[in-house]
A and B are shown apart, each in its own frame.
Chain A
């Protein structure tokens, strides 16, 4: 499976990347600037939008890659960074797990809610499948919208649909975009939702555990800026929810999410397809 190699640390890349001190100094530089700017809260029509340092460091890093004067950041460094990233998920997960272990008592009290909210992860199918179909995606949409498209589901989708299938292609589209843009996106999303939806901070906190360590951390940090008094509990709840999502992710995907997406696809695809065709015909006739 060569695509798996693309997303798991390549030993060759790792070995060379340790000694690539220019790369690490560039990262350090981006981090220092980003942390120095710090968290900015913008007031926008009564909604506070929380801007996190992770957003600036992402933008700075892309800018460094594109900037010609930064000649030491090239494609090779880009490949090495991918390999490094996979390794850095570990400490992030360890931090979340420690928050859960430390607060195990309050987690037990909230047990039923943490377990059941995992069902809500299926919300992606109802929210995103119609959108994907309306945008003109076909079988790709099944791979795209049946899950949050992280590592636990990767093997399943390749195994079921085959490596070169449209479903797998769709899966990797969302995987790739989610890896980079998902983290800043969710940090902005939760800061807006915290004002729009009248839910308890505990509910917002648990929902952050969607099976991606970086998205989890970004979402919880945004929430902690808005509800500082609940920061500890939200971190603990989300860490536990994230762990459960990772453990159960594969099975929920095989036995529930995939059949559900297939079923909904069969119902939605014909009418949406007809709608798109009519629109196209209309456009051509005028």
Chain B
């Protein structure tokens, strides 16, 4: 489905991503002692890639979610043959991966607020099943990875 992004939406996307960049950069200074400006540039690169992914999703006819465009774009830009890879890698390593989840989960906590009633309804049972879903997915993958890594002689 092709549609056009109104300039209003585009400005809001950029607004949120800039706010996210600033908060994350401050988090990186406090938690990991990276220079603020370098972290901020790193964040703006990551947000630029996201924005590109969102725009590509809107203007391409097929039904592929933006998360795939973002992943592939990030991967290509960082490949050793990419002319901008050194620049991108230098600045994005000034952003700790985990610092982004700290900000994300702060928003998640606030957004959880309105769903607290739903959580109570689902109750402990739903939480237990969810934990087993994650546990099963993770352990299943780890066991197969170990087996194949040993078989192919990588470890």
Residues of A within 8 A of B (CB): 11, 14-15, 17-18, 23-24, 26-28, 30-32, 34-36, 38, 52-55, 57-62, 64-66, 73, 75, 77-79, 81-82, 84-85, 87-102, 104-105, 109-110, 112-114, 116-128, 131-132, 135-137, 141, 144-145, 147-149, 151-152, 173-174, 176-186, 189-190, 193, 197, 199-200, 202-204, 206-210, 213-215, 217-221, 235, 241-243, 246-247
Contact = CB atoms under 8 A, between A and B. Distances in A.
B1 interface: no
Contacts of B129: 128, 131-132, 135, 137, 141, 144-145, 173-174
Contact of A61 (B20, B70, B107): B107
Contacts of B154: 109-110, 113, 202
9 nearest CB pairs, A to B: A123-B140, A61-B109, A127-B136, A90-B50, A97-B74, A101-B78, A65-B113, A35-B31, A120-B141
A199 B28 CA distance: 31
Nearest to B76: A101
Interface in B17-32: 17, 19-20, 23-24, 26-28, 30-32
Contact of B136 (A35, A128, A206): A128
Given A61-B105, A78-B114, 13 more contacts: A18-B12, A34-B27, A53-B27, A87-B50, A91-B46, A94-B47, A145-B136, A174-B130, A182-B134, A183-B105, A200-B155, A209-B141, A213-B67
A148 B100 contact: no
Nearest to B78: A101
A147 B12 CA distance: 33
Contacts of B53: 90, 94
Contacts of A92: 97, 100-101, 104
B70 A112 contact: no
B73 to A, nearest CB: 7
Contact of B23 (A28, A112, A119, A179): A28
A148 B143 CA distance: 17
Interface string B118-155: 11001001111111111111111111111011001011
B40 interface: no
A23 B110 contact: yes
A176 B115 contact: yes
B143 A94 contact: no
A130 B28 CA distance: 42
Contacts of B96: 221
B126 to A, nearest CB: 5
29 contacts: A11-B12, A18-B19, A34-B27, A53-B31, A57-B106, A65-B112, A78-B114, A85-B107, A88-B16, A95-B92, A96-B71, A96-B74, A97-B78, A98-B46, A98-B74, A100-B74, A102-B80, A116-B144, A116-B148, A121-B140, A123-B138, A128-B129, A132-B132, A182-B130, A203-B149, A206-B141, A207-B138, A209-B141, A217-B100
Given A15-B8, A18-B15, A121-B137, A101 B74 contact: yes
Contacts of B17: 87, 90-91
B60 interface: no
Contact of B110 (A73, A109, A174, A217): A73
Q: B68, B72, B100, B106 — which one has the most chain A CB atoms within 10 A of its CB? A: B106
Contact of B135 (A15, A18, A127): A127
A112 B98 contact: no
B134 A148 contact: yes
B111 interface: yes
B126 A177 contact: yes
Nearest to A136: B125
A101 B43 CA distance: 17
A101 B135 contact: no
Contacts of A36: 30-31
Contacts of A53: 27, 31, 98-99, 102
Contact of A34 (B100, B102, B136): B102
Contacts of B133: 124, 127-128, 144-145, 147-149, 174, 178
Contact of A24 (B19, B143, B145): B19
